[in-house]
Amino acid sequence: MDTIGLTKERHGTDYVPPLVAIRSNRWMDQVTVRMLPGQRLQDWVDVADRLAQTFGALDCRVRSTPHAQRVQLWFLVRDPLTHVVPPREPDLDPGRPLVDGIPVAVAEDGTVWRLKIVGSHVLLVGRTGAGKSAVLWALICGLAPMVRSGLVKLWVIDPKGGMELAAGRPMFDRFAYGDATTSLGYETALAELLEDAVAEMRRRADRLRGQTRLHTPTTVEPLIVVIIDELAALTAWISDRTMRKRIDSALSLLLSQGRAVGVVVVGALQDPRKEVIPQRDLFPIRVGLGVNEAEHVRLSLGTDAHNRGAHSELIPDTLPGVAYVAVDGIPDPVRVQFVWHSDEHLAQLLAPPAPVAPLELPEAVAA
């Protein structure tokens, strides 16, 4: 503590931050410390790399606690996010994940990480090869039991002609991709899907007005998840100004009003700059996969998240699917690795169920 400046000397007495609690598992040591008077969380964040070196840890995460005078240090002694995370067995209760979150990743403390998609929008940011498609497939596969039970409908937009997500077509209630053969314009189907989602959002708002502030998914009125791959193709790369205005208007309405009525958006892109995605601040959950520069982390996850250790620019190309997640209202980013689904597993998951043979009764019973 003294060599990195976390002790205080006053009137000839040395004061050292006292230990409050220690918890350990096979991956990390969680050390809770009471800060000295006058210290703040940022003082510990600034020396996190020195703390890791001092204790021989791979890394040190500085996390806040409900107690304002305490700080928690997560010393990573083994990294569970260096191997492929296999698909999980689906939850037996299809309604449970919508309440508790979809189990789509493993956190760096070795626990299952759940994405709470009800009442939220999700933005994925990552360079080419960082694993954005893997995250989308992890979400689609995680939602598969709810799709089959009727609690969730997937409305999917793939601007790359459907090449990335077409394999999941049997799971999608709506699937829009660019069509180069129509005279109405390549992006027409994309704009129409978003506008239909806005129309559904407004119908639900009319019905739910005065009854509830957050929609509860049911089989009669399911959660609609609008998944958009390569979001920049809708917000920045369209040359048709009229079509671009239609898409921008519909997307802005969905992001500002859709969460409460059960119409949520999941978007993926490479460049989080404002001119590329002007609505980025409307996504309460932001997933930062590997990016090319620290500024992209600050733009997508926030400067505070980067200061607290969310260094997505340092994620190597050899770890696709590893990301830092920032959630509005939660000060500490979480480092996770998303589940990887092979082509064989996707084919098995998305295959239609085998037909059930009719029951043949014995002749005596039939008579």
* Residues 54 and 177 occupy one common structural domain: no
**122-125/285-288 β-pairing:** parallel
pLDDT for res 366: 46
**59-64/70-76 β-pairing:** antiparallel
pLDDT digits (tens, 9 = 90+) for 60-80: 999 999 998 999 999 999 998
Prediction pTM value? 0.86
In a domain, 72, yes or no: yes
In a domain, 263, yes or no: yes
Residue 87, both tokens: 């698909």
* Residues 208 and 304 occupy one common structural domain: yes
pLDDT digits (tens, 9 = 90+) for 154-208: 999 998 888 889 888 989 999 998 776 665 667 888 999 999 999 999 999 998 8
* Residues 129 and 270 occupy one common structural domain: yes
Answer yes or no: are the C-beta atoms of 220 and 201 closer than 8 Å: no
Last residue of a domain, one of 76, 111, 136: 76
* Residues 232 and 195 occupy one common structural domain: yes
* Residues 283 and 318 occupy one common structural domain: yes
For residue 40, the enclosing domain spans: 8-76
**Vertex 295: Cα angle to 290 and 296 (nearest 5):** 40
Distance between CA atoms of residues 98 and 225, nearest Å:
12
* Residues 20 and 137 occupy one common structural domain: no
Residue range 38-48: mean pLDDT, rounded: 92
Residue range 238-261: mean pLDDT, rounded: 91
Better pLDDT: 105 or 275: 105
Last residue of a domain, one of 46, 76, 106: 76
* Residues 61 and 152 occupy one common structural domain: no
In a domain, 115, yes or no: yes
pLDDT for res 296: 92
In a domain, 3, yes or no: no
Confidence of residue 269 (pLDDT cuts 50, 70, 90): very high
- CATH code for the domain in which residue 255 is found: 3.40.50.300
pLDDT for res 252: 95
In a domain, 89, yes or no: no
Q: Which residues pair with 120 in a beta bridge?
A: none
Total tally of structural domains belonging to the chain: 2
In a domain, 166, yes or no: yes
- pLDDT for 365 beyond 70: no
In a domain, 295, yes or no: yes
pLDDT for res 267: 95
* Residues 146 and 34 occupy one common structural domain: no
* Residues 103 and 21 occupy one common structural domain: no
* Residues 31 and 157 occupy one common structural domain: no
pLDDT for res 95: 57
Strongest mean pLDDT among 95-104, 213-222, 249-258: 249-258
DSSP 362: P
Q: Residue 279: how many CA atoms within 13 Å on its side-chain side? A: 26
* Residues 20 and 62 occupy one common structural domain: yes
The helix or strand, by DSSP H or E, that contains position 202, with its residue range, turns out to be: helix 188-208
pLDDT for res 211: 83
